[in-house]
Structure 1
Amino acid sequence: MTNAATFWLVTGLMSTTFAAAQHTPHDVATALANAGFVLEPVRTIERTLLDTFDGRLHTAGLRLESRVGHATELVLSGVDTATAVLLVAAAPSVTDQLPAGPFRRRVAEAAEDRALLAVVRVRTRCTSASRRDADGKIVAAATIWEQLSIDGHDGLTMVPCTVEVETLRGFEKHARKTFATLAGLGLAQLDHDTLAEAARVAQIHIGGYPGPSDIVLDPAMLAIDGCCEVLTGLANTIAANWQGTIDETDIEFLHDLRIAVRRTRTVLGEAKKVLPSHMLSKARTEFAQLGSVTGPSRDLDVYIVEWPTYTDGLAPDIVSALEPVRALLRQRQIAAHRELNDALRAPTTTAFVTQWRLWLAGPIDDGDEPAPAAHDPLIDVVAKRIMSAHTRLVEAGRLIRSDTPAEHVHDLRKDAKKLRYLIECFGSVLSEKPRKTFVRRLKVLQDNLGVHQDAEVHVATLREIADELHERGERSATMLAVGQLTERIDQRRRAARAEFAERFAAYDIDDTRDDLERALGRGPR
């Protein structure tokens, strides 16, 4: 944002909220006035709790609120931290729209590259009240919030009013007196503020979308039931991220949708002896197509995000000469997302996704003959499939040499992902400590394979772009810069390939297999 912004810290230690279920705002205002408070004129305010789709600020113990009245204020608070207030022209949708400084830094560290969305919005009238000592210093502060209307939930009724009391540093006893005044009137103290109360009434989860990994499974449940619960969670994740992907709210919607599709494909691929064949074959085909169409957009999203890293350290004139490349990448990104959106909006796609969720929600029809492992205990099937995936990864990894074609390295990366997805999807039936130890080793290997694959894809893309720019007759400075950038990224690819043997050797040890067997409840060899 280019406009000037005013920033200040609030000296209050915390805010305590009371709800008036049986009293009018006038009753509360009168009680505060009788306690020595001076009330300001009533104002109309729109309060909005802002967070990322997955609740990253909430997870970080932060809370970002927008208050729009005569001006727009952003209020940032957190556990054991001073509350900061920033006066802005408009509420931000991304952290880059905040002015540089400590406020933006705190939000950006938690939100990263995710968009800031409205979690819950309340339109209300408020009355600020304060009490001063003999020197005119404010020793107690409270705000009455009335006529509370939750955006998008017109039929819901909240309490007649709430009162938020600020505990000011050095004047804690005055806050306690105010608490006593409100409690004496019959108001109930809440363990959250007005916005959180609105979210509770509207049944809005303020911690963000939970994701499928929160599903808790019973190891003894039927394998078909466990697989369907996991697939249902993944289907819900796909649905939750569908519109955000189409709207391009932020790139993580596509990422999360793509991961959910990949996990679905992995579960389907490992559930051939669990799920009914009549649904399995169609689902595998449809999700394979969905996975394929999300690939180009995601690759280009990563390229655009990584661009500053790729060009970091290059001379300014080289970075400037590369602008046509970045512009062409952006054009390709736009075209890829347009193609993706057409696919997501296609009637055949939406019909299948709807049919899939309905099938998972209804009674599972095994057909005349259930799949052979459908009624086996879930843990038995999961343990067998995970151990098989690990063995497959190890055997394939041992065949990789310095001259092995890149496609085989890419296939190994897919094997590692499938193993990781199985562990993540069915993690609740595994022993936690050895599972985490195993995943840490696997992740180190995956990171190496990921760097190699990303660089491989990006070098190939750069070479395509170089050919296109050459045909356009692009200036020599740009062509030379493309060559330098290609070489730089290819160095990353070669370095990752050179490190592979060491990374894989660190994974391919007895301790890794022992940890996996402990996680699966089998104990070490």
Structure 2
Amino acid sequence: MQMPLSFEFPSHLTAEAFIAQLDNKTNLQLLSKHDCHRTYYDSFDWRLYSAGISCELTQSKTSSLLALINLNDGRNLVTTELADVPVFAKDFPDDTLQQHLAPILEMRALLPICTLNFKDIQLNILNDDQKIVVRLAIEEFEQLTDRLLVYPVKGYDKASEHLIETLISPPFELTAIKHSLLPAALQLNGRKAYDYSSKLNIDLAPELRADIACKYLYSHLLNTIKANEKGVITDLDSEFLHDFRVAVRRTRSGLSQLKGVLPNNISARFRDFFSWLGQITGPTRDLDVHLLNFEHYKNSLPESIREDLNPLHDFLLNTQKKTHQELAKKLRSDKYINTLADWELYLKEPSNKQPTEANAQLNIKELADHRIWKMFNRVLKEGQDITRYSPPEDLHELRKTCKKLRYLLEFFQSLYPEEQIKYLIKNLKNLQEVLGDFQDYSVQESNLRVFSEEMITLNTPANTFLAMGVLIQELDTRKYHARRHFTARFSEFASTETQQAFATLFANNKPHRKHL
């Protein structure tokens, strides 16, 4: 069957009236009329929508079809019979669906985002020989404009062309459309595309008082924590915990770096709380990373021993389940629920008109300039002190300092020219990449040694330990190369051009008050 052409009914024309009028002009055959339920799917962070794809499962008593639709031109990319939608792209039985979805969704779960109910009316147009020349389908909605889908039949192009001329002319006056119903379905369901994003899109006015701006910033991060909370507890996919942890780290970093803004007792209490949250979520995230990397682990080994690594996957999966259960229990605890509620309550309280904290009355631009410039110089000093003989701990400390600088740049990016701040963030990301690789390989190598000790008591085959030994050597080699790349990456970051760019944006703006 060829791709359908889509048309929208005018508001005054009902499906019943359309069928009656078309029956007068053609040899129309009514095939069936069914109640249908359509569910739209996407990841929690709208990856398919961002890629211009709508994933739609349409079900009736007689069929269940999954379709991928191009949101820009309405083209049907893939259609297949499917009773249930798997959670992950890799679990789809259809290879074509996997090929479309896996590169976009990656590790994210496919979740229902909205639904539509409608009546599906199937019709045929016959010629004088009682042969089908055009197939039609009407989608009749209660709250949306009805649609007509025209399916041309091979060998009867003229019949389709004649029908289309009829449809767009009086009395029908249908309108050709090339868009999906997804935006309208979202609106009907009270949803909005991109109603969740882990990105920091915070628009701050430069003259805003520092304490008010920081509370606004922390409120945004709290929303991210709360949005991901359910997904973390139910372990829908690993990215819920990732985004949860990033928001926690950003909050803790803000409380640590932006001192003299909130009352000391508030900062101390919640800094400790978010530090605790970072600690309790760490083990599960580490195991998630190992599981996400497992196929890469296998592919890095000689082909003859790859399957010997499979018991490690079973061990990681079982350990992750146990660790996650412990984490979920803590996220249901009174400590977590009550302290987070107290934090939200504090953030919603009106700020003092005359705060006494040293930096609270600075405008946020003054505070941002000072803190970013200071942290940038700290990154330069720590990086310049690192030599080929420096211990791994020095690179780890620099990585943490870079992360603090990155958070500050992202917190306050709206205060600076977009092109310039993006250039600085990009340069910093390049340095962070090599530092992150070095740290990740170190942690994974260390964890694998611990896992091998724990697996000894589990009747693990000897060949698995040999494969793990080869993997540890591979990670050690990668760590060595990351260390070698550091010098070049840091030199790029610490270039005269980058230093001048930081100085231009942050160094020449003196605060009006001297509390900083």
User: Into which bin does the TM-score normalised by the smaller protein fall?
Assistant: 0.7 to 0.9
**Paired residues of 1:45 and 1:124 also in contact (CA < 8 A):** yes
**Paired residues of 1:430 and 1:519 also in contact (CA < 8 A):** yes
**Paired residues of 2:209 and 2:363 also in contact (CA < 8 A):** yes
Change (3 A) 1:375 1:469: same
Change (3 A) 1:127 1:303: same
Map Cα deviations across residues 9-29 of structure 1 (whole Å, 9 max, x no partner).
7523x6344474x66553454
Map Cα deviations across residues 104-148 of structure 1 (whole Å, 9 max, x no partner).
2112222122111111012332223454667856557442323x5
Pairing partner for 2:261 from 274, 278, 295: 274
Map Cα deviations across residues 144-193 of structure 1 (whole Å, 9 max, x no partner).
323x5xxxxxxxxx35x622445869757744643455875xx9999965
**Paired residues of 2:308 and 2:464 also in contact (CA < 8 A):** yes
Pairing partner for 2:90 from 77, 86, 96: 96
Match of 2:41, SS state, is strand
**Paired residues of 2:47 and 2:104 also in contact (CA < 8 A):** yes
Correspondence for 2:208: 221
> Which amino acid counterpart does residue 430 of structure 1 have in structure 2?
Y
Pairing partner for 2:69 from 51, 71, 77: 77
1:49-88 aligned within 5 A: 49-69=40-60, 70-78=62-70, 79-80=72-73, 81-88=75-82
**Paired residues of 2:370 and 2:507 also in contact (CA < 8 A):** no
Correspondence for 1:4: none
Q: How many residues align?
A: 499
Change (3 A) 1:126 1:469: closer
Cα drift, residue 271 of structure 1: 2.1
> Which amino acid counterpart does residue 77 of structure 1 have in structure 2?
I
Pairing partner for 1:509 from 485, 495, 499: 495
Structure 2 portions without partners, runs of 5+ = 510-516
Does residue 119 of structure 1 match 2:108?
A: no
Greater mean alpha carbon deviation, residues 53-62 or residues 489-498? 489-498
TM-score calculated relative to the size of structure 2: 0.88
Change (3 A) 1:221 1:101: same
Q: Among the aligned pairs, what percent are the same residue?
A: 29
Match of 2:325, SS state, is helix
Change (3 A) 1:124 1:385: same
CA distance in 1, matches of 2:282, 2:394: 19
Greater mean alpha carbon deviation, residues 466-475 or residues 268-277? 466-475
CA distance in 2, matches of 1:231, 1:392: 24
Correspondence for 2:252: 265
Correspondence for 2:514: none
**Paired residues of 1:144 and 1:164 also in contact (CA < 8 A):** yes
CA distance in 2, matches of 1:261, 1:466: 31
**Paired residues of 1:430 and 1:520 also in contact (CA < 8 A):** no
**Paired residues of 1:431 and 1:520 also in contact (CA < 8 A):** no
Map Cα deviations across residues 395-415 of structure 1 (whole Å, 9 max, x no partner).
111122223222222121111
Change (3 A) 1:127 1:450: same
**Paired residues of 1:60 and 1:110 also in contact (CA < 8 A):** yes
> Which amino acid counterpart does residue 122 of structure 2 have in structure 1?
S
Does residue 40 of structure 1 match 2:31?
A: yes
1:224-373 aligned within 5 A: 224-365=211-352, 369-373=355-359
**Paired residues of 2:291 and 2:316 also in contact (CA < 8 A):** yes
Correspondence for 2:102: 108
Correspondence for 2:483: 497
Correspondence for 1:145: 140
TM-score calculated relative to the size of structure 1: 0.86
> Which amino acid counterpart does residue 178 of structure 1 have in structure 2?
L
Cα drift, residue 514 of structure 1: 2.5
**Paired residues of 2:262 and 2:360 also in contact (CA < 8 A):** yes
Cα drift, residue 327 of structure 1: 2.2
**Paired residues of 1:420 and 1:439 also in contact (CA < 8 A):** yes
> Which amino acid counterpart does residue 497 of structure 2 have in structure 1?
D
**Paired residues of 1:431 and 1:521 also in contact (CA < 8 A):** no
CA distance in 2, matches of 1:176, 1:422: 60
Change (3 A) 1:40 1:385: farther
Correspondence for 1:155: none
Greater mean alpha carbon deviation, residues 222-231 or residues 285-294? 222-231
CA distance in 2, matches of 1:430, 1:346: 41
CA distance in 2, matches of 1:330, 1:324: 10
Match of 2:293, SS state, is helix
Cα drift, residue 456 of structure 1: 0.7
Correspondence for 2:513: none
Does residue 375 of structure 1 match 2:337?
A: no
Match of 1:398, SS state, is helix
Does residue 479 of structure 1 match 2:474?
A: no
Match of 1:41, SS state, is strand
CA distance in 1, matches of 2:344, 2:179: 35
**Paired residues of 1:66 and 1:74 also in contact (CA < 8 A):** yes
Cα drift, residue 377 of structure 1: 2.1
> Which amino acid counterpart does residue 233 of structure 1 have in structure 2?
H
Change (3 A) 1:173 1:272: farther
**Paired residues of 2:134 and 2:150 also in contact (CA < 8 A):** no
Cα drift, residue 389 of structure 1: 1.6
Cα drift, residue 225 of structure 1: 2.3
Pairing partner for 2:380 from 366, 391, 394: 394
Change (3 A) 1:250 1:32: farther
CA distance in 1, matches of 2:34, 2:411: 50
CA distance in 2, matches of 1:141, 1:342: 54
**Paired residues of 1:18 and 1:164 also in contact (CA < 8 A):** yes
Does residue 26 of structure 1 match 2:23?
A: no
